[in-house]
Amino acid sequence: MNIPQIRMESQFARIGIKQDKPIQEIEQPPAELSIEQPSANLEIEQISGKLTIDQTEAWEDMDIKSIFKRTEEFAQLGYDSWLEGMGRISEQGDELMRIENGGDPIVEQAIENSKLPEFEFNVGWIPSPFSVKIHYEPGEARIRATVNKPVIHATPNQPIHRYTPGKVNVYVAQHHTLSISFVNSKA
């Protein structure tokens, strides 16, 4: 059976958009920078140490003495010998004064006065331990440092900015349509 029909076909309109993108360029030139670092001021004062070595006692132990020491020793030896001699003569005089008590004081005194002195012998060129006296006063270093700050000069540069705005074009890409057709119609 053929039924009459109305056929409608439609097509919607379409919009087209064309877009040109914006262009943005930014350049940042580096800053102009200069840095100077002045040297630090440094002062060093060195006080020397003092070393004192006294080897007088070591030289005296080896019988190498100064003329002043020798003179002093000989003067003391002479004084001691004089006192000893005075004591001996006084004692011998007392013995002779009492000759009546017996004995033979003249012979005894002659034997005593004719004896040679006994000498001691020892190794004389080796000084005694710790006879060299050493004294040291350490030195000192005085250091003064003055720091100088760096000198910095900075000149910033402005950024370079270029901008091209974008565009948007809107257009009708397809118009709307409506088509009507009749099928199985008698008219």
Whether pTM exceeds 0.75: no
- 5-18: average pLDDT: 90
Residue 122 has pLDDT above 70, yes or no: no
- 37-64: average pLDDT: 90
Distance CA 43, CA 46 (A): 10
Residue 155 has pLDDT above 90, yes or no: yes
Residue 119 has pLDDT above 80, yes or no: no
Residue 95 has pLDDT above 70, yes or no: yes
Tokens 């250091």 — which residue? 143
Residue 1 has pLDDT above 70, yes or no: no
- 73-85: average pLDDT: 93
pLDDT (tens digit, 9 = 90+) per residue, 123-140? 667 788 888 999 999 999
Distance CA 39, CA 147 (A): 8
